[in-house]
């Protein structure tokens, strides 16, 4: 079983929908990252959080340390949000990555 | 502009022919790392470096070498590439160890070993 599990693996949404991507982990962590990988391949760091909630534009990331769970929410989704979203946790001195959630937002 | 630059972006080569993928960052970051990304396996760390002349193995170091002679550069060397090293490779850097500061990724190098 992977130490970092994301769900769903694939997600198709209509433009404007509210989207939630989930990340569960089974190890003790000091921080959690959300990354975005566009179809061209480049990876961008969206959030780094160790507690509570962070917001940037239409993106919101939350983490519940006790439940070992994080969510990434996208409000008013847009086709340009189409990408792979990757959760990564810092544990044992390194980053452990989830397998990613492929999001497609249709106009 | 703050960036991590990898070269080449694409490479097709043959088994056994030594190759180097270069990585350079202009942000004066201490920490640099190489990852490979394979379908169904996600990103896996190959090697990392906490500072100049300090490197250490990640999860999948076999068949790879690295060096960190200068702070800005962290090349990945495949001395005798094999087909199972066909993958998408990313270099990344961060001010401190990841988890304390965000990582900045290069655009990736798609490597095909025939």
A27 contacts chain B (CB < 8 A): no
- For CA atoms B60, B65, B91, B7, the dihedral sign is negative
Nearest to A77 by CA among A8, A7, A10, A13: A13
A33–B102 CB contact, under 8 Å = yes
Read off the pLDDT of residues B54-63 as tens digits, 9 standing for 90 and up: 999 999 999 9
pLDDT for position B101? 83
Torsion of CA A79, A73, A68, B40, to 10 degrees: -10
pLDDT of residue A92: 82
Q: What is the pLDDT of residue B1?
A: 84
Burial of B84 (0-12, 13-18, 19+ CB in 10 A): exposed
Q: What is the pLDDT of residue B24?
A: 98
- Sites in chain A below the pLDDT cut of 50: none
Return the bridge partners of A31, or none. A90
Task: Express each pLDDT in A34-52 by its tens digit.
Answer: 999 998 778 999 999 999 9
Return residues 29-48 of B near A (CB < 8 Å).
40-45, 48
**Percentage of chain B lying above the pLDDT 90 cut:** 87
CB contact under 8 A, B41 and A93: no
B5 vs B21: CA distance, rounded Å = 10
CB contact under 8 A, B99 and A31: yes
Q: Does A97 touch chain B (CB under 8 A)?
A: yes
Kindly report the three-state secondary structure assignment for every residue of A32-84.
Answer: EEEEEECCCCCEEEEEEECCEEEEECCEEEEEECCCCEEEEEECCCCHHHCEE
Q: What is the CA radius of gyration of chain A?
A: 13
Residue of B nearest to A92 (CA): B99
B99 has a pLDDT exceeding 80: no
Listed by number, the residues of chain B in 73-112 with a beta carbon closer than 8 Å to a beta carbon of chain A are: 88, 90, 92, 97-108, 110
Q: What is the mean pLDDT of residues B68-85?
A: 97
A42 touches chain B (CB under 8 A): yes
Give the closest residue to A61 by CA, choosing from A83, A86, A98, A78.
A86
Chain A nearest C-alpha distance from B31 (Å): 11
User: A5 in contact with B at a CB cutoff of 8 Å?
Assistant: no
- pLDDT given for residue B39 in this prediction: 87
A99 touches chain B (CB under 8 A): yes
Mean pLDDT of B22-27: 97
């Amino acid at each position: 079983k992977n130490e970092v599990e994301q769900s769903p693996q694939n997600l198709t949404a209509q433009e404007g929908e509210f989207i939630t991507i989930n990340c569960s982990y089974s190890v003790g962590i000091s921080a959690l990252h959300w990354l975005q990988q566009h179809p061209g391949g480049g990876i961008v760091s969206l959030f780094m959080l160790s507690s509570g909630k962070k917001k940037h534009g239409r993106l919101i990331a939350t983490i519940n340390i006790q439940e070992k769970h994080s969510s990434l929410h996208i409000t008013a989704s847009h086709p340009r949000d189409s990408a792979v979203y990757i959760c990564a946790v810092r544990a044992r001195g390194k980053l452990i990555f989830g397998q990613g959630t492929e999001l497609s937002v249709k106009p | 502009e703050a960036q991590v630059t990898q070269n080449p972006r694409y490479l097709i080569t043959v088994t056994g022919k030594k190759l180097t993928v270069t990585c350079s960052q202009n942000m004066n970051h201490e920490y640099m790392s190489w990852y490979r990304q394979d379908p169904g396996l996600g990103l896996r760390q190959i090697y990392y470096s906490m500072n100049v002349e300090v490197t250490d193995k990640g999860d999948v170091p076999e068949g790879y070498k690295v060096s960190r002679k200068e702070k800005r550069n962290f090349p990945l060397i495949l001395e005798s590439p094999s087909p199972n090293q066909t993958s998408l490779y990313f270099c990344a850097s961060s001010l401190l160890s990841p988890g304390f500061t965000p990582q900045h990724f290069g655009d990736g190098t798609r490597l095909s070993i025939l």
